């Protein structure tokens, strides 16, 4: 059988081929080229008939890939072989949201079920009351993985206790940070797990309708989720009186048009309602007055993906991973000047150094590690000398960064931190919806100052002005985009002020 599986996370070694043959240890081939496939198969399976069948099927898939930049020879590894790039990359990772990574064909319902799929939802329907489910989520310590780290059970309780004839649930898959692809991978690789998480949350809070908000730039995610929804409807997991219970629920996909600000809850709701995606002042919070003015639960894709694991294995199994105040795992998109980039899921409390050196294999091309930009455009830059900082909600806040949704970009000695601050600020400036003066104009003025400094025309007094504008923009913006947009500037000013000064003095 030939099977295309979901994301294995080891982006630095793709395209990958894994061969399982009865009586043999599985073999991995990495960075393979299309013209090597027949030889690899021949080495494992001698039957010519079988081989031609495989070749036809594999080449159909292979045609969709771009092989232009793949190194000239493929590598073979045995499963569990110590010291290989795959083993080293996966060592230290814990799979909760990415459980069974690389094993499941994403849209194969039977295969998902065979790996405990929908057991958690069925347990909820048949054995647990909504209060008991929410108590489990509270006990697990799960916090929102979309950036803010708000305790998940509080949101669930608010929606559950709201009095209304109709309640909604929205899965926020509007991932727009540069360098981030966590939600994309979860939606593409684990469509049934995301759907199961939504079903559990909807049942717990009493929502009868839901939307999966996915950006249209993720066409494969949209396709896989739509396929998954169709299958779930046929299997009686979505619709009226699900599995003979009193619970009825309908779930649809909404394709976002790509505005970063629509990741903000109230802007996302406006966008679904057909209005311009502009954040609203809160309160009222969506839990009280959300989609079409009804109580609405909004959770991030990764948060919901963790729920089936918690219900199936018990809150303890999740709680025992991580730190005192940050339980469980976090999925990161590890990118930048690193030897082994990819999609990783690590226990909270792991240090930046462990991620960069052990999982990522250190800095590429023998260069020196300089900093990590964590949390995307809303996050901050943490310098290499603080690489022993633990990755959890509190520790990152203390050093002026934030978890964000999970972008982790590694920088080396050749990266200019003024350029980095400029890059992220231009992104948020462009994506500002324009409602608040400081976010609209303050970020523009900050960018102008940065451009002046970069071109060698800056003055030392510009740095104070830049800092003051950044602080005022944080204070004077109503949503997370404006409040966090200055973070890359403030953190680079704090840790790399000498680079700003070097530009001003004409030393670089």
Q: How far is the CB of 481 from ligand SF4 (least distance, A)?
A: 4
CB-based contact 11:342 (threshold 8 Å): yes
Q: How far is the CB of 433 from ligand SF4 (least distance, A)?
A: 3
Nearest approach, Cβ of residue 477 and ligand SF4 (Å): 3
* Residue 442 near ligand SF4 by CB under 6 A: no
Pick the stretch among 92-100, 163-171, 359-367, 478-486 that binds ligand SF4 (CB under 6 A). 478-486
- Provide the token pair at 462: 């510009």
Q: Which is nearer to ligand SF4, 212 or 433 (CB)?
A: 433
Binding residue for ligand SF4 (CB under 6 A) from 331, 382, 439, 450?
439
CB of 434 to ligand SF4, least distance (A): 5
Report CA-CA distances (Å) from 202 to 199, 230, 304, 425, 457.
5, 18, 11, 37, 56
Our finding on whether 489 is near ligand SF4 (CB under 6 A) is no
Nearest CB to ligand SF4, comparing residues 291 and 433: 433
Cβ proximity to ligand SF4: between 327 and 435 the closer is 435
Cα gap 224→256, rounded to integer Å: 16
Backbone angles phi, psi at 14, to 5 degrees: -80, 160
Counting contacts by CB under 6 A, is residue 432 touching ligand SF4? yes
Written in H, E and C, the secondary structure of 287-322 is: CCCCHHHCCEEEEEHHHHHHHHHHHHHCHHHHHCCE
Order of strands, sheet of 27-30, starting from the edge strand that comes earlier in the sequence: 17-19, 27-30, 75-78
- Work out the end-to-end distance of the chain between its first and last CA atoms, rounded to an integer number of angstroms: 58
Residues in contact with ligand SF4, counted by CB under 6 A, come to a total of: 14
Q: Are 7 and 343 in contact (CB under 8 A)?
A: yes
Find the binder of ligand SF4 among 333, 479, 490, 493 (CB under 6 A). Answer: 479
Residue whose beta carbon is closest to ligand SF4: 482
Question: Do residues 327 and 142 touch, judged by C-beta distance below 8 A?
Answer: yes
Stretch of residues binding ligand SF4 (CB under 6 A), selected from 138-146, 210-218, 339-347, 473-481: 473-481
What is the nearest approach in angstroms of ligand SF4 to the Cβ of residue 484?
9
> Which of 434, 460, 497, 498 forms a contact with ligand SF4 (CB under 6 A)?
434
| Rounded alpha-carbon distances, angstroms, from residue 160 to 169, 197, 206, 414, 491 | 11, 16, 6, 52, 39
Asked if residue 300 lies in contact with residue 183, where contact means CB atoms within 8 angstroms, the answer is yes
Q: Contact region for ligand SF4 (CB under 6 A) — 12-20, 349-357, 398-406, 431-439?
A: 431-439
Among 186, 436, 449, 453, binds ligand SF4 (CB under 6 A): 436
Structure-token match 């989520």, residue found: 137
- Report residue 99 as tokens: 């459980």
Q: Which neighbouring-strand residues pair with 151?
A: 143
Angstrom distance (rounded) from CA 221 to CA 201: 21
Q: Which stretch binds ligand SF4 (CB under 6 A): 144-152, 207-215, 329-337, 472-480?
A: 472-480
Binding range to ligand SF4, per CB under 6 A, among 150-158, 203-211, 238-246, 428-436 = 428-436
Measured CA to CA, the distance from residue 454 to residue 284 in angstroms comes to 43
Per CB under 6 A, which region of 19-27, 305-313, 358-366, 471-479 contacts ligand SF4? Answer: 471-479
Closer of 136 and 432 to ligand SF4 (Cβ): 432
| CB of residue 441 to ligand SF4, shortest distance in Å | 10
User: Which residues in the 256-315 window bind ligand SF4 by CB under 6 A?
Assistant: 261, 279
Q: Are 109 and 195 in contact (CB under 8 A)?
A: no
Residues in contact with ligand SF4 by CB under 6 A are: 261, 279, 432-436, 439-440, 477-479, 481-482
């Amino acid at each position: 059988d030939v099977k295309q599986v979901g994301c294995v996370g080891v982006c630095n070694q793709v395209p990958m081929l894994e061969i399982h043959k009865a009586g043999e240890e599985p073999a991995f081939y990495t960075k393979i080229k299309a013209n090597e496939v027949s030889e690899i198969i021949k080495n494992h399976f001698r039957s010519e008939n079988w081989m031609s069948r495989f070749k036809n099927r594999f080449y159909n898939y292979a045609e969709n890939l771009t092989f232009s930049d793949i190194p000239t020879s493929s590598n073979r590894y045995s499963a569990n072989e110590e010291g290989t790039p795959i083993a080293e990359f996966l060592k230290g990772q814990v799979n909760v949201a990415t459980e069974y990574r690389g094993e499941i064909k994403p849209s194969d319902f039977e295969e998902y079920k065979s790996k405990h799929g929908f057991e958690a939802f069925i347990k909820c329907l048949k054995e647990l009351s909504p209060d008991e489910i929410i108590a489990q989520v509270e006990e697990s310590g799960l916090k929102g993985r979309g950036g803010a780290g708000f305790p998940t059970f509080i949101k669930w309780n608010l929606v559950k206790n709201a009095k209304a004839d109709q309640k909604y649930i929205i899965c926020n898959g509007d991932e727009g940070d540069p360098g981030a692809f966590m939600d994309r991978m979860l939606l593409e690789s684990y469509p049934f797990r995301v759907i199961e998480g939504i079903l559990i949350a909807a049942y717990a809070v009493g929502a009868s309708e839901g939307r999966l908000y996915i950006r249209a730039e993720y066409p494969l995610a949209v396709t896989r989720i739509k396929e998954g929804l169709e299958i779930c409807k046929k299997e009686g997991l979505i619709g009226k009186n699900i599995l003979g219970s009193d619970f009825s629920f309908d779930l649809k996909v909404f394709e976002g048009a790509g505005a970063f600000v629509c990741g903000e809850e109230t802007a996302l709701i406006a966008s679904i309602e057909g209005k311009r995606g502009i954040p609203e002042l809160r309160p009222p919070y969506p839990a009280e007055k959300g989609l079409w003015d009804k109580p609405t639960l909004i959770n991030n894709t990764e948060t919901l993906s963790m729920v089936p694991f918690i219900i199936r294995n018990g809150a303890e199994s999740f709680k025992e991973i991580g730190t005192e105040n940050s339980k469980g795992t976090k999925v990161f998109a590890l990118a930048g000047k690193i030897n082994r980039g990819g999609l990783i899921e690590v226990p909270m409390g792991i240090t930046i150094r462990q991620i960069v050196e052990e999982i990522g294999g250190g800095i590429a091309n023998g260069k020196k590690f300089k900093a990590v930009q964590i949390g995307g455009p809303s996050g901050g830059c943490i310098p290499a000398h603080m690489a022993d900082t633990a990755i959890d909600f509190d520790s990152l806040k203390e050093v002026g960064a934030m978890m964000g949704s999970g972008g982790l970009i590694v920088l080396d000695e050749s990266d200019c931190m003024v350029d980095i601050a400029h890059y992220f600020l231009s992104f948020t400036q462009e994506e500002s919806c324009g409602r608040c003066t400081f976010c609209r104009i303050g970020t523009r003025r900050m960018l102008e100052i940065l451009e002046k400094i970069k071109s060698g025309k800056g003055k030392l007094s510009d740095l104070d002005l830049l800092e003051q504008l950044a602080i005022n923009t944080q204070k004077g913006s109503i949503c997370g985009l404006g409040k966090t947009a200055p973070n890359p500037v403030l953190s680079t000013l704090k840790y790399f002020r000498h680079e700003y000064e070097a530009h001003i003095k004409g030393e670089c």
